[in-house]
């Protein structure tokens, strides 16, 4: 498998979040995107993947 690099800095992502332009998906949604688009295109498209849950431990 080839190695690809997707370069997004925290600053770039934070700017997109502040502007309301960030693409945010859940980990479950990311799985579907990777299956449909491939890992490289999914990584290029998505800015933030949420992995946390809100449940009492």
1-57 pLDDT, tens digit per residue, is: 678 888 999 999 999 999 999 999 999 999 999 999 999 999 999 999 998 877 676
- How much is the pLDDT for 1? 61
CB within 8 Å of 2: residues ≥ 6 apart: none
Q: Which residues pair with 50 in a beta bridge?
A: 26
- How much is the pLDDT for 38? 95
Q: What is the pTM of this model?
A: 0.78
């Amino acid at each position: 498998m080839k190695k690809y690099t997707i370069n997004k800095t925290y600053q770039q992502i934070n700017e997109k979040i502040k502007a309301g332009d960030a693409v945010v998906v859940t980990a479950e949604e990311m799985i579907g995107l990777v299956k449909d688009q491939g890992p490289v295109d999914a990584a290029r498209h998505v800015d933030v993947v949420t992995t946390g849950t809100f449940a009492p431990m």
